């Protein structure tokens, strides 16, 4: 391990960086999530306990030195580029309009920020998954309709008649990430899993074959439904306003028991009823419940010692409620007229 650290240090010091493009390549190569330094930190878990202190110090020093080199070069190169641009006679003489973030990205960041304040960490996983992580370990019965070709995009399927843990598919929810967390970590933990998911549905104003989710999971001793309700109430008021009320309606999901759907009071009519909330005063935003003991046992977690809650929401749905968007397809058409409305949300 020490030899790898020394080798990467020597390699980074010898890198020749002439412009900002070279600098970005340098950052990705060494400092990104899949960079050489990050990979060393991933390998650190395999280091024997007696060597952890020495190697840990070496890793921290390596990362600090590479980060300092990056920061110093960034200041120098940006200053140099700014000076050269002042003399660029080919630049247009009119103001260049600024871009804007996509509404899905805006809402995704807001949701993550809310749960981060409650101690939830972000977990990510592959979009191409197997049946075991998407269905089997989440207590989906072999004959569950969600496994059918009408709902799921299969990349390869061993049998059309029976489910198989080796079936490869595009994930239909980010709960598969939660399964991986439960398999690879020991409680307690809080995690949220934002990401893109896929379902074989007809595209319309209210449905799409591609959409985005944020799912949350909290596993610990003595976690109760009251903890779930208070967490979701805090989330709703942070995102939709302090006057927001919530209600939980009984529902069913294979991976939670008991299960519920959560509604929030309509912001437009104040709960009195309007055409947006279909004159009920409530808008459905997410599903939730206590993690089913079978799911815990399938992920090698003692269901007699630990309990937990889970929830999941569609980001498009939240964005539609927040910005009063009435057609889901607008998020995917890249219409500048639509996206320009979100410039103030940078």
In a domain, 162, yes or no: no
Q: Are residues 215 and 339 in the same domain?
A: yes
> What pLDDT is stored for residue 92 in this prediction?
67
Strands 121-122 and 189-198, sheet pairing: parallel
Q: DSSP letter string over 191-202?
A: EEEEEEEE----
Q: Are residues 72 and 114 in the same domain?
A: no
In a domain, 138, yes or no: no
In a domain, 135, yes or no: no
Spatial separation of the C-alpha atoms in residues 143 and 161, rounded to whole Å: 9
> What pLDDT is stored for residue 346 in this prediction?
44
In a domain, 49, yes or no: yes
Contacts of 172 by beta carbon, 8 Å cutoff, 6+ apart? 134, 146, 151, 152, 197, 198, 199
Q: Are residues 194 and 335 in the same domain?
A: yes
Which range marks the domain in which residue 308 is found?
A: 103-121+185-200+210-345
How many structural domains are present in the chain? 2
Query: CA dihedral defined by 139, 140, 143, 146, rounded to 10 degrees?
Result: 180
Contacts of 152 by beta carbon, 8 Å cutoff, 6+ apart? 146, 169, 170, 172, 199, 200
Q: Are residues 339 and 269 in the same domain?
A: yes
In a domain, 75, yes or no: yes
Q: Are residues 107 and 226 in the same domain?
A: yes
Q: Are residues 24 and 112 in the same domain?
A: no
Q: Are residues 230 and 327 in the same domain?
A: yes
Q: Are residues 70 and 195 in the same domain?
A: no
pLDDT tens, residue order, the chain (346 aa): 777 778 888 888 888 888 888 888 888 888 888 888 888 777 777 778 877 788 788 888 888 888 888 888 888 888 877 666 556 667 666 666 677 789 999 999 999 999 999 999 999 999 999 999 999 999 888 877 777 766 888 898 766 666 677 789 999 999 999 999 999 999 999 999 999 999 988 888 878 899 999 999 999 999 999 999 999 999 999 998 898 899 999 999 999 999 999 999 887 776 777 776 778 888 889 999 999 999 999 999 999 999 999 999 999 989 988 888 888 889 998 888 888 888 754 4
In a domain, 151, yes or no: no
Spatial separation of the C-alpha atoms in residues 133 and 179, rounded to whole Å: 6
Q: Are residues 15 and 55 in the same domain?
A: yes
Q: Are residues 324 and 248 in the same domain?
A: yes
> What SS3 state is found at 212?
strand
Spatial separation of the C-alpha atoms in residues 277 and 273, rounded to whole Å: 6
**Which stretches of the chain are DSSP H helices?**
2-13, 20-31, 36-43, 52-86, 103-116, 131-134, 175-184, 225-240, 293-298, 315-323, 336-339
Instruction: Tell me the backbone φ, ψ of residue 165, rounded to 5 degrees.
Output: -60, -15
Spatial separation of the C-alpha atoms in residues 81 and 133, rounded to whole Å: 48
- For residue 325, give the CATH number of its domain: 3.30.930.10
Q: Are residues 278 and 329 in the same domain?
A: yes
> What pLDDT is stored for residue 345 in this prediction?
47
Spatial separation of the C-alpha atoms in residues 9 and 61, rounded to whole Å: 10
> What SS3 state is found at 49?
helix
To which H or E segment does residue 18 belong? none
Spatial separation of the C-alpha atoms in residues 293 and 265, rounded to whole Å: 32
In a domain, 296, yes or no: yes
Residues paired with residue 154 on neighbouring β-strands, in sequence order:
169
Query: CA dihedral defined by 284, 285, 290, 293, rounded to 10 degrees?
Result: 100
Residues paired with residue 197 on neighbouring β-strands, in sequence order:
211
Q: Are residues 252 and 297 in the same domain?
A: yes
**Of 315, 325, 335, 342, which is closest to residue 101 (Cα–Cα)?**
342
In a domain, 238, yes or no: yes
């Amino acid at each position: 391990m020490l030899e790898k650290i020394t080798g990467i240090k020597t390699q980074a010091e010898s890198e020749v960086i002439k412009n900002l493009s070279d600098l970005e390549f340098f950052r990705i190569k060494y400092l990104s999530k899949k960079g050489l330094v990050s990979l060393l930190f991933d390998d650190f878990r395999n280091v024997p306990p007696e060597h952890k202190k020495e190697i840990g110090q070496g890793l921290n020093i390596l990362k600090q030195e590479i980060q300092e080199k990056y920061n110093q070069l960034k200041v120098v190169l940006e200053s140099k580029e700014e000076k050269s641009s002042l003399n660029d006679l080919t630049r247009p003489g009119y103001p260049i309009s600024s871009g804007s973030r996509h509404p899905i990205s805006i809402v995704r960041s807001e949701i993550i920020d809310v749960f981060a304040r409650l101690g939830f960490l972000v977990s990510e996983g592959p979009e191409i998954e197997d049946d075991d992580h998407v269905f089997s370990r989440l207590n989906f019965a072999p004959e569950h309709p969600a496994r059918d070709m009408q709902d799921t995009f299969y990349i390869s399927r061993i049998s059309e008649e029976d489910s198989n843990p080796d079936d490869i598919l595009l994930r239909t929810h980010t709960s598969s990430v939660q399964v991986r967390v439960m398999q690879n970590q020991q409680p307690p933990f809080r995690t949220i899993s934002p990401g893109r998911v896929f379902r074989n549905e007809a595209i319309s104003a209210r449905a799409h074959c591609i959409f985005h989710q944020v799912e949350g999971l909290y596993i610990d001793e003595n976690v109760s439904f009251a903890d779930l309700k208070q967490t979701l109430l805090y989330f709703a008021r942070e995102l939709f306003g302090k006057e927001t009320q919530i209600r939980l309606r009984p529902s069913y999901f294979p991976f939670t028991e008991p299960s519920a759907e959560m509604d929030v009071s309509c912001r437009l009519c104040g709960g009195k009823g309007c055409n947006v909330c279909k004159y009920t005063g409530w808008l459905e935003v997410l599903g939730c419940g206590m993690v089913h003991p079978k799911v815990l046992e399938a992920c090698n977690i003692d269901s007699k010692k630990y309990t937990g809650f889970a929830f999941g929401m569609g980001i498009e749905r939240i964005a539609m409620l927040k910005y009063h968007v009435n057609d889901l397809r607008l998020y995917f058409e890249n219409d500048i007229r639509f996206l320009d409305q979100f410039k103030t949300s940078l």
